[in-house]
Each structure stands twice: as C-alpha cells, then as structure tokens.
Amino acid sequence: MVRQHHCRHVCLIALGALSTWHALASPPDAERGRALASDPRRGNCVICHSIPIAGMPPDAFGNLGPSLNGVGSRLTPEALRQRIVDPRIVSPETIMPAYSVFTGLYRVQQAYVGKPILTPEEVDDVVAFLMTLK
C-alpha cells in the first residue's frame, strides 16, 4: 500500500514537472524556424531544398531534396515534424539527417555525437515556418 502510494506520488510529481516545463516553453515561431532553415550551422535545409525565402539568391538552394514550395499545403504539421525528427520512418533509405534523433545513426559529426541537431522546440519552429509555405 505504501509502495503504491509512493509510486503514484512520484508519477504525479513527474507529471506536474512536465506540465510546468511545457508551459514555460515558448510557442512555435515561424520566423525562428525560417532562420533555422537557412542557417548553415543549424538546420541548413537550404543546402538540399529549394525554399521560397525572401532575400536569398536563387542559387543559394540545393536540389538534392524536393522543393519545399507549397509544402504547408501538402503535408500536416505532424507529417512535417516526423520528416524532420527522423525521416527514416517515412523513407528508410533517405539521406536526410535525423534532426532530433541521436541513436542508431552512423558517420555522425563529432559535435553531434550523443545529442540532437535541433531541440524539440527548434523542430516546432521549423514546422511552423514550413506550414506558412502554402
């Protein structure tokens, strides 16, 4: 009985901490997402994808991945998030990096061993930006 009470108490504390953390996280921001998508040190989506980003020269984009023009009309936020977090779920042979998974990978740059490229909040920002591309 005491053990069950203790376990329930620990679970309630954990749930409370999680909800407090989530409440402190800032809402997704499309402008931060745009900055991440074009930042060569972070998301760097532009290295493989053509993305309609004002102010960037047309030759700044890669063509290895599909164009992201209109992607917000074609995919749901959940589908976009999955493709960013771990695209291997959708396409096992993809060469796109898993931006929020850091296990089960090979040939990982030393700076990213044991840590994700983007935080969950940053992924949400990129998704918010991509959803603006209608």
Calpha distance 33→39 (Å, rounded): 10
Question: pLDDT tens across 6-44, in order?
Answer: 444 434 344 444 444 445 578 999 999 999 999 999 999
Share of the chain above pLDDT 90, in %: 69
Instruction: Write down the residue that tokens 């850091």 correspond to.
Output: 102
Angle at the Cα of 27 from the Cα atoms of 131 and 133, rounded to 5 degrees? 10
Domains, the chain, ordered by start: 29-131 (1.10.760.10)
Instruction: Give the pTM.
Output: 0.78
Tell the burial category of 36 from Cβ atoms under 10 Å away from its Cβ (0-12, 13-18, 19+): buried
The dihedral over CA atoms of 93, 89, 37, 126, expressed in degrees to the nearest 10, equals 170
